[in-house]
Amino acid sequence: MPDDEPGESLAPREPNTYTYDEWDFYAAAYKPSWCLVKEDILEEGDPAFYNEALQHHHALLSHIKRQFERIMPERFRKTYRLVDGEDVDLNAAIEAWADLRMNVPPDDKVYWRRHRIQRDVAVVFLLDMSASTAEPIYVGNASLDGQHVPQPGAAYTTWRRHRDARSQADFKRIIDIAKESTALLTQALESIGDTYGIYGFSGYGRENVEFYVIKDLAERFGERTKRRIDNISPLHATRMGPAIRHAIAKLEQQSASTKILFLLSDGRPQDRGYSRRGAEKEYAVQDTHMALLEAKQKNITPFCLTVDKAGHDYLQAMCGDMGYEVLDEIALLPARLPMLYRALTM
């Protein structure tokens, strides 16, 4: 609902609570300390979900790991054509010798040296845990859909029987596919050693923006992370701005040379009171856009991935020249998410 009444700035009065400004694009100014973020550790569930996700996507996981191994830096990389180094660069030496034979002044850069290469990446994955992620998606046999329904008769009866026999396993919630994708991603990230954190967000109103720790940047991956992934669940609304700003604050504490903020959502930002003058959609998009710009200004690369097929309608305004993608087929998320990350960090 629109919230046109003037409000007061908030103050954190409890442990693990933080306030952030919100961008009012009507006034072209920030509302100071307007949103209160409450950080909490997500409760632990059953690790069976994590293990079953890896088992179900075993072939895909093997493929992802092979792809990620290709981006692991060599322990040492040779730099050629140096004035001084560990040994002679044979190709450069031959060229220099040929120049001498032709009475041409040779290049004195005829050595090579090894340099230690280290991958220096820190990334935050920010998962939308809004209520809309409870929507069920059919992931079974597409041939049983109603695109080619037989004419009434025996064929139709058989088709109808098969269609009605679809088990619940043919349907998954958006949040479940996101959880499976997260499980695969942790395996890939552990294989290359990047620093990463996984957080979920939801909320109801500017005073209750919930920010859940699934794996903190400073925390080691282990059984607790697996159990927390099981408890990623649909909650309330989608107030993206303060969640992004809190993720930025976490990344600013990292010394990595490459920092990435990866936002995974199923729809546009929307929350109770996330508006002014009744234009809550535009207000929410512009505040989120400003939060992403704040990340970019702090040398953090933001990227938004949405499974909302209508995402093209607002993502251009929300992201501008920053990276984003609309994934039309949500069942492809477990494969697409790691590959996007690989592309961002090459």
Domain boundaries, the chain: 17-71+119-345, 76-116
113 has which bridge partners?
Answer: 79
Kindly tell me if the per-residue pLDDT of 76 is higher than 60. no
Kindly tell me if the per-residue pLDDT of 156 is higher than 70. no
- Among 232-246, 269-283, 304-318, the range scoring the smallest mean pLDDT is 269-283
Q: pLDDT by residue (tens digit) across 124-136? A: 999 999 888 888 7
pLDDT of residue 133: 84
Q: pLDDT by residue (tens digit) across 48-58? A: 999 999 998 88
For residue 174, report the phi and psi dihedrals to the nearest 5 degrees. -55, -40
Q: Is 41 helix (H, G, I), strand (E, B) or coil?
A: strand
Q: Is 213 helix (H, G, I), strand (E, B) or coil?
A: strand
Q: pLDDT by residue (tens digit) across 171-202? A: 778 888 889 989 988 988 888 888 899 999 99
Kindly tell me if the per-residue pLDDT of 273 is higher than 80. no
The DSSP call for residue 300 is -
Q: Cα–Cα distance between 42 and 34 in angstroms, integer? A: 24
The DSSP call for residue 194 is -
Kindly tell me if the per-residue pLDDT of 143 is higher than 50. no
Q: Cα–Cα distance between 76 and 79 in angstroms, integer? A: 10
pLDDT of residue 145: 46
pLDDT of residue 217: 93
Residue whose tokens read 């493929």: 63
**Quick one: fold of 17-71+119-345?**
Rossmann fold (3.40.50)
pLDDT of residue 63: 85
Q: Cα–Cα distance between 46 and 307 in angstroms, integer? A: 26
Beta strands in the chain (DSSP E): 17-24, 29-41, 76-82, 87-88, 111-116, 121-128, 136-138, 171-173, 195-203, 209-215, 258-265, 301-306, 323-326
pLDDT of residue 142: 45
Mean model confidence pLDDT for the chain: 82
Kindly tell me if the per-residue pLDDT of 26 is higher than 90. no
Average pLDDT over residues 195-224: 92
Those residues with Cβ within 8 angstroms of residue 140's Cβ, 6 or more apart along the chain or in another chain: 166, 169, 170, 171
Average pLDDT over residues 42-51: 91
76 vs 290, residue with greater confidence: 290
**Paired tokens of 15:** 């442990």
Candidates 204, 327, 192, 209; CA nearest to 272 is: 204
The DSSP call for residue 270 is B
Q: pLDDT by residue (tens digit) across 298-327? A: 999 999 988 877 777 787 888 888 888 888
**Paired tokens of 249:** 């604050």
Kindly tell me if the per-residue pLDDT of 293 is higher than 70. yes
168 vs 92, residue with greater confidence: 92
